[in-house]
Amino acid sequence: MSDSRVALITGSSSGIGAAIARRLSADGMRVVVNSARSAEAGKELAASLPEAVYVQGDVSDPDAARHIVQAAIDAYGRLDVLVNNAGATRFIPLQDLEAADATVWRDLFDVNVFGAWQLTTAAVPHLRKAEAASIVNISSVSAARAMGSSIPYAVSKAALNHMTRLLATQLGPNIRVNAIAPGLVDTPWYDEAPEVWEGSRDWITANTPLRRVGTPEDVAEAVLYLTRAAYTTGDVLTVDGGRHVV
């Protein structure tokens, strides 16, 4: 069996997660692809990579979270990198407070916060055995700015950022914990509500130093960097083409 590092990426059958799986695989890691649904796409992605397996499971379910981690151990006997990418959103105008009811809050926190927590707690005993373990949480610029697809989504990502910092203080020196906060990235999410994002790409392009919106590959490169950055923990890395400085 190969002794190369093993990376588990949740929510990785498409979009940002799939790009992360491809990039880490290209770097020589063995990859565990996961999704709650889209099993066929997940299996196809895993089959296209040199050493990869697919495991279906909903991170918001505690039993499924443990199963996902155990599947990685069963397949490869170790775990070095966990990328908490699985996420959920609802496209609700920020001013529409009534539409952002308690059910929406619970649904988004179940995936974006509790899901990341459950995967992390299941993975930590295995990550502690690795020489240079890393957890990377996929957050959002909306966690720190008054913007986003909905208020519950933005708040859930703010909670994820703080979880990242707290875990970094508790899991070092063996495990580093960081997050990435992407800006607008072209993913299938935005196909679900094209009217919401009509004009957004043009506006971002015109008002961002790098003059374009992000791609899943941009986020994947940042994830790879954080898996290698041996003296970086507790950080939230903004990946938005420089929009946050203008």
> Rounded to 5 degrees, what are φ and ψ at 83?
-115, 110
Tell me the residue length of the chain. Answer: 246
Please indicate whether residue 231 is annotated as part of the active site: no
Report if residue 205 sits inside a domain. no
Report if residue 1 sits inside a domain. no
Q: Sheet of 236-239: strands edge to edge? A: 52-56, 30-35, 6-9, 81-84, 133-138, 175-182, 236-239
Percent of the residues in the chain that have a pLDDT greater than 90, as a whole number:
80
- The most confident of 108-112, 184-188, 213-217, by mean pLDDT: 108-112
| Total domains, the chain | 1
Say whether pLDDT at 75 is over 60. yes
Say whether pLDDT at 198 is over 70. no
134-155 pLDDT, tens digit per residue, is: 999 999 999 898 888 899 999 9
What's the CATH number where 43 sits?
Answer: 3.40.50.720
- Mean pLDDT value of segment 220-244: 96
Going by C-alpha positions, the residue among 101, 67, 105, 76 that lies closest to residue 7 is 76
Per-residue pLDDT, 203 = 80
Q: Could you tell me the pLDDT band of residue 194, with boundaries at 50, 70 and 90?
A: low
Taking the whole predicted model, whether its pTM rises above 0.85 is answered as: yes
Report if residue 208 sits inside a domain. no
81-96 pLDDT, tens digit per residue, is: 999 999 999 989 999 9
Report if residue 58 sits inside a domain. yes
What is the distance between the alpha carbons of residues 65 and 199, in angstroms, rounded to a whole number?
A: 38
Place of tokens 């508790």: 170
Residue 231, helix vs strand vs coil: coil
Report if residue 204 sits inside a domain. no
Per-residue pLDDT, 202 = 80
Quick check: 184 and 214 in contact, CB under 8 A? yes
Range of the domain at 50: 6-188+215-238
Say whether pLDDT at 1 is over 60. no
Report if residue 243 sits inside a domain. no
Report if residue 194 sits inside a domain. no
* Mean pLDDT rounded to a whole number for the chain: 93
Candidates 54, 76, 153, 190; catalytic one: 153
Report if residue 201 sits inside a domain. no
